Homo-oligomer: A and B are copies of this chain.
Amino acid sequence: MSLIGTKWKPLVLFHLLEGPLRSGVLQKKVPEISNKMFTQTVRELETYGLISRKVFPVVPPKVEYRLSARGKSLGPILQSLDQWGFEDCGLS
C-alpha cells in the first residue's frame, strides 16, 4: 500500500475526486507541496494507474489530470479517511 504510504498521494487523489483538474490548479489545492514533489507524485500515481494524464499540445502547456477507474475505486476510502481525520481531532 505505497499509495497512502506517502505524504502527498492521498491528498492529491482526494482533490481529484470531484473531477479532472489541470496541473496548476491541482497543485494550488495543495499549497505546501513543492514543485518537485507534485510532479513526482502525479507521475507515480499515473504509473500505478490511479490517474491519467492528458496533455494538450498548446503553448503554454496545458495538462489535465483525472482519476482512472481504479483511482475512483479509492474514493470511498479516501473520503472515509478524510472524515475520520476530522471526527477524531488533531493527529497530524
Residues of A within 8 A of B (CB): 1-7, 10, 48, 70, 73-74, 76-77, 80-81, 84-85, 87-88, 91-92
In the bound complex, do residue B92 and residue A84 qualify as a contact, i.e. CB atoms below 8 Å apart? no
14 more A-B contacts (CB under 8 A) besides A1-B91, A73-B84?
Answer: A1-B81, A2-B92, A4-B4, A4-B5, A4-B81, A5-B5, A5-B6, A70-B88, A73-B88, A74-B84, A76-B80, A77-B77, A77-B80, A80-B80
Bound CA–CA A1/B29 (angstroms): 17
Q: How far is the CA of A4 from the CA of B85 in the complex (A)?
A: 11
Shortest CB-to-CB span from A45 to chain B, Å, is: 11
